[in-house]
Structure 1
Amino acid sequence: MADKNISDLTGIESFTALTFSSCSDNNLKSLDLSSNVNLTDLYSHVNQLSSLNCRSNKLPDLDVNPNSALTFLNCSSNEISSLDISGLVNIEQLFLQQNQLTTVNLPSSGSSLWKLEINENQMTDIDVSLFGNLRDLGVHQNQITSLNLKNGNNSNFASFNSEYNPNLTCIFVDDSGWSNDNWSAYKYAPSTFVTHQLIVGT
């Protein structure tokens, strides 16, 4: 299917046994492979993709950086352990939950991102301080020891959950009082909202 001037892949959902797909060098604007549950290899670079849904497959890795126009990415329920999405400068919604992620390289310019779901992975460190438009964040059921939410806009959050991270003691926020009033029910009970890092011995 590569380099065939294709603009629509409607019908690909019927090929549930598909393990390999190459649809690069086409004119695709969206791609939904969520029904292709046996997919292990996907090549979709050099398109016009703004939406990619490849959830519930068996992908061990994913390279989407060539698709810098993406605003929506759902690669949840795969087998991905490391993900570099630093090139997705226009991304608005990211669904990364239920993988094996230990590392995610987010875009350095985070003005567009408003939804991030990275639940049920193996993440130890998450920093979303660059994302001033973030409204929805799910990081529960990871191995997080460091979580930085100081983005200057915490009061705009509509949804936040960091439960079931037993190694998380401090969560860095804009205003600890506000976070205690609004977010306490959605964090691991012993963890504390703080605004500054305490340096022992000073």
Structure 2
Amino acid sequence: MKTKLLSLLLVLISYLALSQTTAIPDAIFEQELVNQGKDTNGMTGDILNTDAQAVTSLNVEGLGITDLTGIEAFTSLTYLVCSDNSLTTLNVSSNTALQILLCSYNSLSSLDVTLNTNLLSLSCDNNQISSLNLNQNLLLGSLGCSNNPLTGLDVTMNTELLTLACSSTGLNSLNLNQNILLQDLTCVGNNLTSLDLSNNTALQLLTCSFNNLISLNLGSNSILWNLDCSNNQITTLDLSLNPALFIFKCSSNQLTSLDLRNGTNSSVPVNNFIFAGNPNLTCINVDNATYSTNTWTSFLDPQMFFSEDCSLGFDEFESSNFKIYPIPARDYISIDSNLTKLENIKLYNLNGELISSNNYPNTNKSHKIDVSSFAKGMYILQVQTDKGILYKKIIIQ
């Protein structure tokens, strides 16, 4: 009888001991816990539950961990970084206090965060996740899920979202109508043909390059200051209602019309606006054609020039007001004025450098500009009259 009682007592003691610990099968994971002073019983293959429950923040990034089993014991955890490891699974269903989860650069094929209702920030970029259910994460303010083979992305319930990065996920559509607080959107390298941002009035940064967009309406995004819509199929772009715009790239589209007259062009420095790769775009509407010509021409195609009103139509204006000849020119360019009074004529090379400037006292006489010393090539002639400033491409042979 005493032997049986002793055996039962030993079993009970063993059970109680086991119930006070949680297994940590990955030696690298446990070693890091020991190194950080979070596992006080040493390399035993487990952790005391009291130790785990005392941890609120844990960073085990870039250690080569393959198994994070045992993380379920960290029930007080609010901050977890396990990025850049070799994880294929991650179970955070017991970590209901979790607010920040960074698990990018692993090999996760799925991620269940439906029980993590306190989650504020999630970064799961560069995994193999095909679906992501965020319907229960109503507090989510930041989401990074780029470089995953997502079949879709539903963020309609995430009305607190401020930042969204979902590049290279293969998305065909993206509904952001409910995300009225969104400030930063990066959706590069998807299959988007349209993007409705009419409700996203708080948007400040938009990077939507390398999609299949044929149009982009940004009339509601008045505080947008950084826009990259390069490598799409956009034909017209009106940014006249975006006075905060400071960085703008629209390279490699099918633009035929571009309006930048937002009243603040003169605050944009050199190299901040890039237009190259739009062979069908000639005239670009700007606030100040002289400033734009002097500042932004490093990233223009040869046929492009700036005007304060592209609707004037230079050829029509020229035929009724003055003549410019010969084109191509060799020794000189003649400008015969008729009804329009000339004020200034400037000649720029395609680098935006001023190479000739001539002022006139509001006359409508004929004038000649000596170009015999200029190198062969294409130039931009700026003609300032009493009716405005116009530009014309000039070839010197």
> Same fold, TM exceeding 0.5?
yes
Measured in 1, the distance between the counterparts of 2:232 and 2:218 equals 16
Residue equivalent to 1:177: 290
Map 1:1-202 → 2, pairs under 5 A:
1=113, 5-8=117-120, 10=122, 12-13=124-125, 16-25=127-136, 26-36=138-148, 38-47=149-158, 48-110=160-222, 112-158=223-269, 159-196=272-309, 197-199=311-313, 200=316
* AA aligned opposite 1:119: S
Change in Cα spacing, 1:10 to 1:30, as seen in structure 2 (3 Å) is: closer
| Alignment check: 8 A CA contact 1:3 1:24 kept | no
| Alignment check: 8 A CA contact 1:169 1:191 kept | yes
The superposition leaves residues 77-105 of structure 1 with CA deviations (integer Å, 9 ceiling, x where unpaired) of 11101111111000000000011110223
1:7 deviates by 1.5
Secondary structure (helix, strand or coil) at the match of 2:192 reads coil
| Alignment check: 8 A CA contact 1:89 1:107 kept | no
Secondary structure (helix, strand or coil) at the match of 1:78 reads coil
Instruction: Please list every run of 5 or more consecutive structure 1 residues that lacks an aligned counterpart in the other structure.
Output: none
| Alignment check: 8 A CA contact 1:87 1:107 kept | no
| Alignment check: 8 A CA contact 2:265 2:287 kept | yes
| Alignment check: 8 A CA contact 1:117 1:139 kept | yes
RMSD: 2.0
1:46 deviates by 2.4
Measured in 2, the distance between the counterparts of 1:93 and 1:9 equals 18
Runs of 4+ with deviation above 6 angstroms? none
| Greater RCO (CA < 8 Å, at least 6 residues apart) | 1
The superposition leaves residues 31-72 of structure 1 with CA deviations (integer Å, 9 ceiling, x where unpaired) of 000142x11200112221000000111001111121000000
| Alignment check: 8 A CA contact 2:219 2:242 kept | no
What TM-score results when the alignment is normalised by the length of structure 1? 0.91
Secondary structure (helix, strand or coil) at the match of 2:293 reads helix
Identity, in percent, stands at 33
Q: Tell me the number of residue pairs that the alignment of Structure 1 and Structure 2 aligns.
A: 199
Secondary structure (helix, strand or coil) at the match of 1:5 reads coil
* AA aligned opposite 1:130: L
1:24 deviates by 2.6
Residue equivalent to 2:379: none
Secondary structure (helix, strand or coil) at the match of 1:42 reads coil
1:2 deviates by 5.4
Change in Cα spacing, 1:4 to 1:79, as seen in structure 2 (3 Å) is: same
* AA aligned opposite 2:290: G
The superposition leaves residues 121-153 of structure 1 with CA deviations (integer Å, 9 ceiling, x where unpaired) of 000001111011110000010000000000100
Instruction: Please list every run of 5 or more consecutive structure 2 residues that lacks an aligned counterpart in the other structure.
Output: 1-112, 321-397
Measured in 2, the distance between the counterparts of 1:155 and 1:194 equals 14
